[in-house]
């Protein structure tokens, strides 16, 4: 499957992962200044999962995300300026400042929302898959779920429903090892989440979520199955997050130097770069050029977000039916 | 042309006519077809009490059975709505909201606002409400107040076959999530219903009986009980104006306030438990906005603050009846500052 990726695909994948990384590293830094309100959950470290999956999708396809949603949004094509402004709670944000980090959505792009409720997305994705089935345009619908969300009843019910209704759905279980501060090796009763696929009558695939190519290949097969009317698939991506559950999490539950070692040995972007440059598919200079462009893009997004107006007071009462 | 049909037939007709008109309308719920995957007949049930019977033979795969997984299929209906369908999902009994409430109040209700006005969620959740069926504590509640509390949801409680059809069609066409509460004791009630398609706008109460002495605000099955009480009271020359709210979100404050301005007395009748229900809500609005018009303290006739009992004798005591309404009306009439 990896061989089917063109140079343009590889450049796009690298840019996507790098954009997510830079976005998250920057939000991490900016959050520390106190300018960003509320809860922020960062996706840094997990980029290969969102990218490897969303590289297969078009605007007609739908995804539902989690509280750790920035990476999925970027991978699905949501405008980075709008996202940054949303995180700052500004009028120019994707949701006009009314959603925030945990609720970035762009229905036009097929992004059905980050979600503040763990396990909130899978039922919705069954619905998106059902709509795709009725519309007969070969659409697929993908729920990203964390290891914590994999234990929610909503997720388990959705796995069952997706098979019963033979929906074009894919459940991507991003197992980053921790539900908040609780280790998944303790909270997930089976050894691997992927084992659950069997119980719900669908294929399950486990991949190294640090490896873009592994994710891309597994997702490609699942998307093909879904588009071909062969029903849902569960993919477990074993991966790691670089930051805490949310910003401000001191992560004392993690091992000494755990994150440092992960960054040195498991980093998905370094791994990707090494592989594509080593195989002579892309040059380091090309990647450096992308790095520079991405950095400038994120700088600009932050500057625009900071300068953007706050929502007008009248916005409080719009976009909802008022009967009082 | 109007003819007499039941409340249940009126809802079925509304669903069928909207499905015929708009291919994006789909119907789903536990046993909404009945017989799925079994060896016998299809459309065996058409819903647990038969409200959706006959739709599957007409509309095939657009009428769907579901596993008993309310979170998954109510959520799926909501997700399908955001993706361009107009699903009507049946939550068999409103009491079952406990197993799927997140999808309704954290997801469906929030999308339009939380996503900056860009999301439409045209889903209807049909659900059975109310006591009287000897169905006991977990199949008899009047939980519409909980949904009315949530911004982003619209809440509909029809009382007559005519209203059931017009409000259902309106609900399907509305772009916000609608909770459509069907009182199980009304399914067999008959009334005149036009064969034609028509809608009843939300937020327009129905003045079911005019009167000058006391305003009686009510909804759902209690409309019929209030009308019975009003007929009895009229024999003693007490004229009640009986207002059926029809929808609690939005709620027609103007019709209530205008009536209280005229009568100066208010009795609110609500089959729900007494705390934080529609009766307390209406009372608060009138106390705040028509205080000077009141000639007597507001009276509320509600169920007691208990679960719904099983024993028929106890359940009959639980449900507000005409005698209780009449006593409340007599009390406000007798009040002397």
pLDDT per residue as tens digits for the range B97-129: 999 999 999 999 999 999 999 999 999 999 999
Give the model's confidence band at A111: pLDDT under 50 very low, under 70 low, under 90 confident, else very high.
very high
Q: Please indicate whether residue B139 is annotated as part of the active site.
A: yes
Q: Tally helices (H) and strands (E) across chain A.
A: 12, 7
Per the CB < 8 A criterion, the answer to whether B270 and B218 are in contact is: yes
pLDDT at A220: 98
Tell if the CB–CB gap between A164 and B67 is shorter than 8 Å: yes
Select from A103, A126, A132 the Cβ nearest to the Cβ of B72.
A126
SS3 track for chain A: CHHHCCHHHHHHHHHHHHHHHHHHHHHHHHHHCCCCCCCCCCCCCCHHHHHHHHCCCCCCCEEECCCCCHHHHHHCCCCHHHHHHHHCCCCCCCCCCCCCHHHCCEHHHCECCCCCCCCCHHHHHHHHHHHHHHHCCCCCEEEEEECCHHHCHHHHHHHHHHHHCCCCEEEEEEECCEECCEEHHHHCCCCCCCHHHHHCCCCEEEEECCCHHHHHHHHHHHHHHHHCCCCCEEEEEECCCCCCCCCCCCCCCCCCCHHHHHHHHCCHHHHHHHHHHHCCCCCHHHHHHHHHHHHHHHHHHHHHHHHCCCCCHHHHHCCCCCCC
- CB interface of A with B, residues 53-72, below 8 Å: 62, 64
Tell if the CB–CB gap between B75 and A112 is shorter than 8 Å: no
CA distance B334 to A45: 74
Select from B84, B107, B113 the Cβ nearest to the Cβ of A320.
B113
Of the residues A83, A101, A102, A131, the best mutation for testing chain B's interface (the one with the most B CB atoms within 10 Å of its CB) is A131
- pLDDT score of A97 more than 60: yes
Tell if the CB–CB gap between B116 and A117 is shorter than 8 Å: no
Task: Say which residue the tokens 């306030």 belong to.
Answer: B257
pLDDT at B210: 98
Q: Tally helices (H) and strands (E) across chain B.
A: 12, 14
Scanning every residue of chain B, which has its alpha carbon at the shortest distance from the alpha carbon of A126?
Answer: B76
Contact of A316 with chain B, judged by CB distance below 8 Å, is answered with: no
pLDDT at B165: 98
Q: Which residues of A touch B73 (CB under 8 A)?
A: 123, 126, 161
- CB interface of B with A, residues 135-154, below 8 Å: 151-152, 154
% of chain A beyond a pLDDT of 90: 98
pLDDT at A2: 45
pLDDT at B199: 98
Give the model's confidence band at A1: pLDDT under 50 very low, under 70 low, under 90 confident, else very high.
very low
Q: How far is B55 from chain A (nearest CA, A)?
A: 17
Task: Report residues of chain B scoring pLDDT below 50.
Answer: none
Q: Which domains does chain B have, with CATH numbers?
A: 2-194 (3.40.50.970), 206-334 (3.40.50.920)
pLDDT in tens, A14-25: 999 999 999 999
Contact of B249 with chain A, judged by CB distance below 8 Å, is answered with: yes
Tell if the CB–CB gap between B103 and A95 is shorter than 8 Å: no
Contact of B177 with chain A, judged by CB distance below 8 Å, is answered with: no
Which superfamily, per CATH, for A2-317? Answer: Thiamin diphosphate (ThDP)-binding fold, Pyr/PP domains (3.40.50.970)
Give the model's confidence band at A177: pLDDT under 50 very low, under 70 low, under 90 confident, else very high.
very high
- pLDDT score of A230 more than 70: yes
pLDDT in tens, B184-205: 999 999 999 999 999 999 999 9
- pLDDT score of A324 more than 60: no
- CB interface of A with B, residues 116-135, below 8 Å: 116-117, 120, 122-128, 130-132, 134-135
Q: Kindly list the domain boundaries of chain A, sorted by start residue.
A: 2-317
Tell if the CB–CB gap between B103 and A323 is shorter than 8 Å: no
Of the residues B26, B59, B61, B69, the best mutation for testing chain A's interface (the one with the most A CB atoms within 10 Å of its CB) is B69
Interval A223-247 mean pLDDT: 97
Contact of B37 with chain A, judged by CB distance below 8 Å, is answered with: no
pLDDT in tens, A118-131: 999 999 999 999 99
Q: Which residues of A touch B80 (CB under 8 A)?
A: 127-128, 130-131, 134
């Amino acid at each position: 499957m990896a061989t089917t990726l063109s140079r343009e695909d590889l450049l796009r994948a690298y840019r996507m992962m790098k954009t997510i990384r830079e976005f998250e590293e920057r939000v991490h830094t900016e959050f520390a200044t106190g300018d960003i309100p509320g809860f922020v959950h960062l996706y840094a470290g997990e980029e290969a999962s969102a990218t490897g999956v969303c590289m297969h999708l078009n605007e007609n396809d739908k995804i539902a995300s989690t509280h750790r949603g920035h990476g999925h949004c970027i991978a699905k094509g949501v405008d980075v300026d709008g996202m940054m402004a949303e995180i700052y709670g500004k009028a120019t944000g994707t949701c006009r400042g009314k959603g925030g980090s945990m609720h970035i959505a762009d229905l036009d792009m097929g992004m059905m929302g980050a979600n503040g409720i763990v396990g909130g997305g899978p039922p919705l994705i069954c619905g998106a898959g059902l709509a795709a089935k009725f519309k007969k345009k070969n659409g697929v619908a993908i729920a990203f779920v964390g290891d914590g969300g994999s234990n929610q009843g909503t997720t388990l019910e959705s796995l069952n429903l997706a098979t019963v209704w033979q929906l074009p759905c894919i459940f991507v279980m991003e197992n980053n090892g921790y539900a908040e501060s609780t280790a998944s090796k303790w909270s997930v009763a089976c050894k691997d989440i992927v084992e659950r696929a069997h119980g719900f009558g669908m294929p399950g695939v486990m991949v190294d979520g640090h490896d873009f190519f592994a994710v891309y290949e597994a997702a490609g097969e699942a998307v093909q199955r879904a588009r071909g009317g062969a029903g849902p698939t569960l993919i477990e991506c074993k991966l790691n997050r670089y930051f805490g559950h949310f910003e401000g999490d001191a992560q004392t539950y993690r091992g000494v130097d755990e994150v440092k070692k992960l960054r040195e040995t498991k980093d998905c972007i370094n791994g990707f770069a090494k592989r594509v440059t080593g195989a002579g598919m892309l040059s380091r200079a090309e990647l450096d050029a992308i790095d520079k462009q991405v950095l400038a893009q994120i700088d600009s997004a932050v500057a625009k977000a900071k300068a953007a107006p706050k929502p007008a007071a009248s916005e409080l009462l719009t976009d909802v039916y008022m009967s009082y | 042309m109007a003819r007499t049909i039941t409340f249940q037939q009126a809802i079925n007709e509304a669903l069928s006519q909207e499905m015929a008109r708009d291919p994006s309308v789909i119907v789903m719920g536990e046993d909404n077809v009945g017989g799925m995957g079994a060896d016998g007949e299809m459309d065996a049930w058409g819903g647990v009490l038969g409200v959706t019977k006959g739709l599957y033979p007409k509309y095939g795969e657009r009428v769907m059975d579901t596993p008993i997984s309310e979170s998954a299929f109510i959520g799926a209906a909501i997700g399908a709505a955001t993706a361009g369908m107009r699903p009507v999902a049946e939550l068999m009994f409103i009491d079952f909201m406990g197993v799927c409430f997140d999808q309704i109040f954290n997801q469906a209700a929030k999308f339009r606002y939380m996503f900056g006005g860009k999301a439409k969620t045209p889903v209807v959740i049909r659900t059975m409400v109310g006591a009287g069926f000897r169905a006991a504590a977990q199949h008899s509640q009047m939980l519409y107040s909980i949904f009315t509390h949530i911004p982003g949801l619209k809440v509909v409680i029809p009382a007559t076959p005519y209203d059931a059809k017009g409000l259902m069609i309106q609900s399907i066409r509305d772009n916000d999530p609608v909770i459509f509460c069907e009182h199980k004791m009304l399914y067999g009630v008959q009334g005149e219903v036009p064969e034609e398609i028509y809608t009843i706008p939300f937020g327009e109460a129905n003045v079911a009986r005019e009167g000058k002495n006391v305003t009686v605000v009510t909804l759902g099955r209690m409309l019929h009980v209030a009308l019975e009480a009003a007929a009895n009271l009229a024999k003693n020359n007490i004229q009640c104006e009986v207002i059926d709210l029809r929808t609690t979100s939005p709620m027609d404050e103007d019709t209530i306030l205008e009536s209280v301005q005229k009568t100066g007395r208010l009795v609110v009748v609500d089959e729900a438990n007494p705390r934080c229900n529609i009766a307390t809500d209406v009372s608060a609005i009138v106390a705040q906005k028509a205080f000077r018009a009141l000639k007597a303290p507001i009276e509320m006739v509600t169920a007691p603050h208990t679960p719904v009992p099983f024993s028929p004798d106890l359940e009959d005591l639980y449900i507000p009846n005409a005698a209780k309404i009449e006593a409340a009306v007599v009390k406000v009439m007798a009040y002397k500052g």
